[in-house]
């Protein structure tokens, strides 16, 4: 049984009044949501509070969940909006995005270096890392969100369209433009 049918069954159980089924959804997704929220809310204690608030909002709204998108896509949207609302309340904007791998863990380019690396190679890796971080931070929020959902969260174009509430063509365009911006900044470094 795939992930979506399990989620659908748990959601149906919650909607019928089984609170333990929601506990299972929380256990399944809590780490992913904490990592997601932490990209916006840098204070770890605040990130946990925002994550808890997102799950509370999801629980309260679950009666209205119609299953038009995957549960995680729906939960992801709630978590992002809760994090943005938290930052708005603090009068801050989200900090620059870090680079994360497919498993949601931060990518450390330093770890990719071997003991035999030259100082020049180490410098180039550091420069590439900084370029990626600066380019991601400089992207408009819609492009940054689209590329993050695709490349880091691994969502399909359809799921991204649901999460961002826009047509699939718009998602494709945003991802293309984000990749173009990254390529333009990295190309001079890689061609050295």
Q: What local confidence, expressed as pLDDT, does residue 148 receive?
A: 84
Q: Say yes or no to pLDDT of 9 above 70.
A: yes
pLDDT digits (tens, 9 = 90+) for 150-174: 887 778 888 888 888 899 999 999 9
**pTM, to two decimals:** 0.55
Q: Count CB-CB contacts under 10 A for residue 74.
A: 22
Q: What local confidence, expressed as pLDDT, does residue 40 receive?
A: 84
pLDDT band at 92 (very low <50, low <70, confident <90, very high): low
Q: What local confidence, expressed as pLDDT, does residue 109 receive?
A: 46
CATH code, 166: 1.10.10.10
* Residue whose C-alpha is closest to residue 27's, from 7, 47, 50: 7
User: 68 lies in which domain range?
Assistant: 1-95
- Please give the Cα distance from 94 to 47 (Å, whole number): 12
pLDDT band at 117 (very low <50, low <70, confident <90, very high): low
Q: What local confidence, expressed as pLDDT, does residue 141 receive?
A: 86
Let me know whether 39 and 113 are in one domain: no
Q: What local confidence, expressed as pLDDT, does residue 116 receive?
A: 53
- Please give the Cα distance from 165 to 177 (Å, whole number): 18
Let me know whether 147 and 176 are in one domain: yes
- Please state which of the ranges 65-79, 92-106, 121-135, 177-191 shows the lowest mean pLDDT: 92-106
30 and 51 in contact (C-beta within 8 Å)? yes
Structure-token pair, residue 190: 């890689």
Query: Averaged over 87-91, what is the pLDDT?
Result: 80
Let me know whether 60 and 84 are in one domain: yes
Cα distances (Å, whole numbers) of residue 20 to 6, 23, 84: 14, 5, 29
- With a CB cutoff of 8 Å and minimum separation 6, the contacts of 41 are 47, 50, 83, 86, 87
Query: Averaged over 23-34, what is the pLDDT?
Result: 92
Let me know whether 126 and 181 are in one domain: yes
Let me know whether 110 and 73 are in one domain: no
Q: Say yes or no to pLDDT of 138 above 80.
A: yes
Let me know whether 11 and 42 are in one domain: yes
pLDDT band at 107 (very low <50, low <70, confident <90, very high): very low
Q: Say yes or no to pLDDT of 114 above 50.
A: no
Q: Say yes or no to pLDDT of 1 above 90.
A: no
Let me know whether 1 and 90 are in one domain: yes
Let me know whether 108 and 84 are in one domain: no
- Please give the Cα distance from 5 to 185 (Å, whole number): 41
143 and 174 in contact (C-beta within 8 Å)? yes
């Amino acid at each position: 049984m795939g992930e979506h049918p399990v989620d659908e069954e748990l959601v149906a159980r919650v909607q019928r009044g089984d609170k333990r089924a929601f506990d299972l959804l929380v256990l399944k997704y809590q780490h992913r949501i904490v990592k997601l929220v932490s990209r916006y809310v840098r204070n770890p204690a605040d990130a946990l509070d925002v994550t808890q608030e997102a799950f509370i909002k999801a629980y309260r709204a679950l009666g209205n969940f119609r299953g038009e998108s995957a549960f995680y896509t729906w939960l992801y949207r709630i978590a992002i909006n809760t994090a943005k609302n938290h930052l708005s309340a603090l009068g801050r904007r989200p900090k620059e995005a870090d680079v994360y791998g497919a498993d949601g863990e931060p990518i450390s380019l330093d770890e990719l270096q071997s003991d035999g690396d030259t100082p020049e190679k180490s410098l180039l890796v550091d420069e590439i890392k900084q370029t990626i971080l600066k380019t991601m931070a400089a992207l408009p929020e819609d492009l940054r969100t689209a590329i993050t959902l695709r490349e880091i969260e691994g969502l399909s174009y359809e799921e991204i369209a649901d999460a961002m509430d826009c047509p699939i063509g718009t998602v494709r365009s945003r991802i293309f433009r984000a990749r173009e911006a990254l390529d333009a900044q990295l190309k001079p470094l890689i061609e050295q």
